[in-house]
Amino acid sequence: MFEYTPYFDDDVLAKRPYIKKAWCEEVVSSKQFVEKQADGRFRFWGRIPEYSNRYLRVVTLEDQKTIHNAFFDRGFKEIKR
């Protein structure tokens, strides 16, 4: 269902080997917090209980199925609804 850019496979996972693809897929699938970027890509955030409940930001291409980047976002603040 999901694809990954060469940048994600070659650079992101090399710099951040603790990030699991399953976490990225869960964050994108949940669509809990989503924002469209000016360049057409999408940002998704989701809490990862296995990683001290920190928020993982996942960036996809325009199709929302090709994962391009992921990192734990220290600055993310959950919007109270």
Instruction: Please give the full DSSP string across 20-67, using - where no structure is assigned.
Output: -HHHHHHHHHH-SEEEE-TTS-EEEEEEEGGGTTEEEEEEE-TTSSEE
Report yes or no on 28 lying in a domain: yes
Question: Residue 61 is part of which domain span?
Answer: 3-72
Measured over all CA atoms, what is the biggest interatomic distance in the chain, rounded to whole angstroms?
Answer: 38
Domain assignment present for 77: no
Task: Specify the pTM.
Answer: 0.93
80 is a domain residue = no
- pLDDT tens digit at each of 81 positions of the chain: 899 999 999 999 999 999 999 999 999 999 999 999 999 999 999 999 999 999 999 999 999 999 999 999 998 877 644
Give me the number of domains the chain comprises: 1
Is the residue at 42 inside a domain? yes
- Is position 39 within any domain? yes
Q: 36 lies in a domain?
A: yes
26 domain-assigned? yes
67 within some domain = yes
